[in-house]
A and B are shown apart, each in its own frame.
Chain A
Amino acid sequence: MTTQTKYTVVAIVVALLLIYRLFYSVREAEYALITQFGRPVRTVTSAGLHVKWPWQAILWFDRRLRIYNPRPSEFLTRDKKNLVIENYVAWRIDDPRRFVESVGDTTAAEMRLHDIIWSGLSAALGAQDLDSLVAPSPDQVQTASMLDQLTNNADRAALLQYGIRILDVRIKRLNLPEQNKQSVFARMRAERERIALQYRAEGEQQALAIRANADREKEEILSAAYKNAEKIRGEGDAEATRIYGQAYSKNPQFYKLLRTLDSYKKILDDKTTIILNSDSELLKVLTRGEAGAK
């Protein structure tokens, strides 16, 4: 190897080293903090190729959103009810310089977050009745506005102290402490008993109403039919009477004769004994001969 070649090799190595120390690329998911002899000088938040002095070093930070789940803890509401609450915090590093100066790494950050959120949550819940967290209708529940306020306060504090942005604090689970559950189960059972009784009684009530209604309707239908039927019969009788009257009034005497004779046919049967006067119209001829017929 000639001297010239040696120089060339050295020059290339130096050049490559220089390139390596001068240029760096920041990925989308990262922040770069440029430090000079351990002292942070600037933060690079835009992804892409960047230049620094060769003597400056880089600290990398994950800028992505993280979900932190603190352990479930017990809180006391204003009306002295215990609640076990499991929440989560959505956070990310916003100011790497403040973050590295005050916290250092994510584990330490989550411990700080736990403290901020825990104290915020216990203060917020201490100002709420259980009814405003758990209620049968949506407009009674204040949880969302309470958490929004909590998020804002926690965000302001965390940003100022730790360079952390808190996007969201939310309750994942509302539960009762183990020692309260038995009484809740007993209450649930009693409530169900009551509802079961109510369902059965309501069913019976409805059934009775339907039956009574049917009976009434039946009576109405039949009585209306009777009314109509009697009216029709009456009309028939009236018409018949009119026809008879019209016909018979033309010759009432003859009608009387015929009708009386007809009624004799019905009145007089084989059990009847009749005593006839020999002077009667029928027998006059029998007793007096032809003179009787006059």
Chain B
Amino acid sequence: MSTVVVQRPEPEGVELSVVRGPLRKASHNRLYACVVGLWLLSGIFLVPADEQAVVTRFGAVANPRVSPGIHYALPWPIDAVYKLKTHQLRRTVIGGDIPDTVLGRMPAAPSEFLSGDQNLLNVRVVVQYSVSQPTDFLFQTEDVDRAVEASVESELAHRIAFTPVDKILTTEKVATQNDVLGAAQRTLEEYRSGVILSSVNIESVTPPPEAAEAFRNVAGARADAIRLVNEAEGYANDLIPRARGEAVRLEEQAQAYQAGRINRAAGDAARFEAIASEYAKAPKVTSTRAYVEAMEQILPKIKKLIVDSHGEIDLTVVGRDPNTTANPTGAPQK
């Protein structure tokens, strides 16, 4: 690897030229100085804004993190500069490629996983990660992408192997993503891969096509159940307020009846008391007047037969009309 050193001008070369003539010596000196100068200048390097650099001296890390800007490192073959796009999100897909809509390529078949209750599921996961430790990223793992893929996939398989299929499909999808992210990150740190996972996203999780119809049926059943319950709740929500209204009506009617009864009683009582107090002043006359007045009201409307107290009564006259009632006595006994 360091064979090229031989062809490079060395400081000894400058000493060598001293033995030459003064004129040639000067021009040679200028040439050598120029070459050495250029060689030294070749150590200048630029780190763009989205990158970081690692500088190694004779292979060993000399500066693990060079931030963006203009920098100097000793020229080849002493120092070497590795530049990395640290902020760039790298992406890898587990379970088939992302469908390429531009080229109209069909997506590859997603990969099958075995769930805790021994159902097969097709899962596709998109992983995004970026460089966190440039030196580890460069020098500790041969193929970081492969390591990320392997660790995420194994955690996913492990997580799915102890989760029932319904939970993966519904409630535990997010929890699974988070668990896999955390566990895979720990594994990658063990491997010193120098990456940080920013997201593990379960892009699709579907039952195999052979059982898809049955899974849809379950979803339909769940919707039906919710609909039935909603309808029943609608019924209850309609019924109860009506019953409450009816109850209020009943009680209000009762209140009205009560008030009516009491008021009427009080009115009647007051009227009676008023009359009674007058009656007390002249009982005989008042009662006669009351009696006669009443008779005046009653008698004009009805049929009357007046008989002599000693005479015979032929009741057949009365009996001809079934609606008539015989009332032999007239006045109340005082």
Contact = CB atoms under 8 A, between A and B. Distances in A.
Contact of A141 (B59, B161, B321): B161
A29 B12 CA distance: 33
B147 A67 contact: yes
Contact of B291 (A13, A171, A257, A273): A257
Contacts of A175: 112-114, 120
A188 B119 contact: yes
A179 to B, nearest CB: 14
Nearest to A240: B265
B321 A195 contact: no
Nearest to B233: A210
Interface string B286-329: 11001110110111011111111100010000100101111111
B111 interface: yes
B59 A30 contact: yes
B114 A134 contact: yes
Majority DSSP secondary structure for residues of A touching B: helix
Given A171-B157, A274-B327, A88 B150 contact: yes
Given A29-B139, A278-B307, A221 B330 contact: no
A276 B190 contact: no
Chain B contact patch, size range = 35 or more
A69 B154 CA distance: 12
Nearest to B301: A270
Interface in B237-271: 239-240, 242-244, 246-248, 250-251, 253-255, 257-262, 264-266, 268-270
Contacts of A52: none
B218 A195 contact: yes
Nearest to B255: A232
Majority DSSP secondary structure for residues of B touching A: helix
Interface string A183-218: 011011101110111011011101111110111011
Q: Among A17, A26, A138, which residue has the most Cβ atoms of chain B within 10 A? A: A138
Contact of A133 (B139, B161, B265, B283): B161
B207 interface: yes
A144 B157 CA distance: 12
A83 B132 CA distance: 37
B211 interface: yes
Interface stretch (A96-104, A112-120, A154-162, A247-255): A247-255
A69 B147 CA distance: 11
Nearest to B286: A254
A129 interface: no
B2 A20 contact: yes
Chain A contact patch, size range = 35 or more
B161 A143 contact: yes
Contacts of B128: none
Contacts of A16: 5-6, 10
B91 interface: no
A261 interface: yes
B56 A28 contact: yes
A275 B315 CA distance: 10
Given A172-B154, A213-B236, A233 B307 contact: no
B218 A47 contact: no
A15 B331 CA distance: 165
A190 B313 CA distance: 101
A278 B232 contact: no
Given A23-B2, A24-B2, A196-B220, A276 B158 contact: no
Contact of A25 (B58, B115, B244): B58
Interface of A: 4-5, 8, 12-13, 15-17, 19-20, 23-30, 46-49, 62, 64-67, 69, 87-88, 90, 130, 133-138, 140-141, 143-144, 167-168, 170-176, 181-182, 184-185, 187-189, 191-193, 195-197, 199-200, 202-204, 206-211, 213-215, 217-218, 221-222, 224-226, 228-233, 235-237, 239-241, 243-244, 246-248, 250-251, 254-255, 257-258, 260-262, 264-265, 268-283, 287
18 contacts: A16-B6, A26-B58, A47-B56, A64-B140, A65-B141, A137-B116, A141-B161, A195-B221, A199-B222, A214-B235, A225-B250, A241-B265, A247-B269, A247-B273, A264-B298, A273-B321, A274-B305, A277-B306
The 6 closest A-B pairs by CB, nearest first: A203-B225, A236-B258, A225-B247, A247-B269, A229-B254, A214-B236
